[in-house]
Amino acid sequence: MNHTFHVNILSPDCPLYTGPCESLIVPTPQGKYGIKARHSKMIIAVVPGALFYRLPGQTAEVISVSHGVVKIENDEVSVLVDSLEHVEDIDVNRAKRAADEAKEAMLQKKSIQEYRAAQARLVRAVNRLTVKRKYDVIHY
């Protein structure tokens, strides 16, 4: 009995993984949402947070993701997010610098577009730091 589905985990800069998957947990506005084989069709909004995916016979992998969507159809799941990064690849110092730079840009109050862009960079940096702190040594 096949308990896997096909998953595509993608961002514009980094196609992270395409292949079989046993389970997927995505951060949504309503909380964490789990997906397994034979899931019903739907589209789900993704918010910044930790995404967990388990490949057949392996332990779960953790990645930091930003905003995006998940499409589920015919035992195929596509995760499309603005950015993603494996927890072990997150550079804490770089994320802290990015957060500081984003805060400074927000204080400059140039235009609403620049403010929102800086706000988005701050959310991404804080999310990366949070995911790194919580899940860097996860084993399950």
Quote the pLDDT of residue 2: 66
For residue 101, the enclosing domain spans 91-135
Residue 140 counted as domain residue:
no
Residue 105 counted as domain residue:
yes
Same domain, 46 and 104: no
139 pLDDT band (50/70/90 cuts)? very low
Q: What's the predicted TM-score (pTM) here?
A: 0.86
Same domain, 17 and 75: yes
Average pLDDT estimate for 67-75: 95
Computed over every residue of the chain, the mean pLDDT equals 91
- The string of pLDDT tens digits covering residues 88-134 is 888 999 999 999 999 998 888 778 898 888 998 999 999 999 999 98
Same domain, 64 and 122: no
Quote the pLDDT of residue 45: 97
Average pLDDT estimate for 3-9: 95
Quote the pLDDT of residue 55: 94
13 pLDDT band (50/70/90 cuts)? confident
CATH code of the domain in which 58 resides: 2.60.15.10
Same domain, 49 and 66: yes
- The domain tally of the chain equals 2
Same domain, 82 and 95: no
CA distance 64 to 118: 19
Quote the pLDDT of residue 20: 96
